[in-house]
Amino acid sequence: MNPWIVIDQATVPGDGGEMKLLQRTHEFTINVKNEELMNSRLHGSEDALAELTCKPLEKRKRPRVLIGGLGMGYTLGAALKHLGPRAKVVVAELVPAVIKWNRTHLADLAGRPLEDSRTIVRQGDVSAIIKEEKNAYDAILLDVDNGPEGLTHDGNDRLYTPKGLEESKAALRPGGVLAVWSAHSDKAFTKRLRAVGFDVEEVPSRARGARGRWHHIWLAKKM
C-alpha cells in the first residue's frame, strides 16, 4: 500500500496543537494530535448534514445559512447544491491553512465550493460570528471538531454549552434549524438542546455507503 505523505501542516490557533494534511494517491486526510479528524473517502454524513438542513430551504428566495467548520468542503458543497441562486452561505473556519488547502490541494473534492459566488468565507471563530446578529440565519450547521466533544480547540466546546446553544438559537430566524454533526451519540447534549427550547430530531448517518461507521446529526428547530 502506498504510504501517506505529509503535504502541509499548520498550528491550530489557541491550544489545538499541530494539524497535518496528508495524501495517499487520490485520498486525503487531516490529522490533529496524531488522530484522524477527517478523510476524503468518508463524507457521507457531512453530505447528509447539508441535505437534511438545506433541502427544505431550496424554494426560499434568499435563504441565509451559516456553516461552522470548512473541513474538506463537503458540507459547504452539498449545501450549495440544495440552495437557490440568491442564497448566501457564510462559512467560518478557525484555521487559515484549512482555507488555503480548500483553495489548492482539496479544491476539486467537493466541486470548488469556495469559488461559488454564494459563498462568503470568514476566517475566525464561528461562535463569535453567531453572536454578531440576531434572527439572521435560516440554518446554522456546526461541523466543528468531532461534535460536542471538542478535539482540536477547547474553545469550541462553548458552542455546545447551554449559553452557546442559546446564542445559536438567538441567531436563527423563527423556524430556523441548528444542525450539529458528531462522530458519536450524546444523550446529555440532546437534553441540553431541549432544555433551551429546541424541537430536536436525532438522525444517524453512515460515513460511507452502507457499511461505513455511524455518525450522528441533531436537527434542532427554533419554535
Look at residue 172 and tell me if it is in a domain. yes
Residue 135 lies in a domain: yes
pTM: predicted TM-score of the whole model, two decimal places = 0.93
pLDDT bracket for residue 6 (50, 70, 90): very high
- Residue 117 sits in a domain of what CATH number? 3.40.50.150
In a domain, 119, yes or no: yes
Would you say residue 36 lies in a domain?
no
Look at residue 101 and tell me if it is in a domain.
yes
Asked whether residue 31 is domain-assigned, the answer is no
pLDDT digits over 75-117, tens only? 999 999 999 999 999 999 999 999 999 999 999 999 999 999 9
Q: By residue range, what is the domain housing residue 52?
A: 42-222
Q: What is the pLDDT of residues 136-160, one digit of tens each?
A: 999 999 988 667 864 344 455 688 9
The beta-carbon contacts of 16-20 under 8 Å, at least 24 apart in sequence, are 16/95, 16/152, 16/153, 16/154, 17/152, 19/95, 19/97, 19/98, 19/152
Whether the pLDDT of residue 191 is over 90: the answer is yes
Domain count, the chain: 1
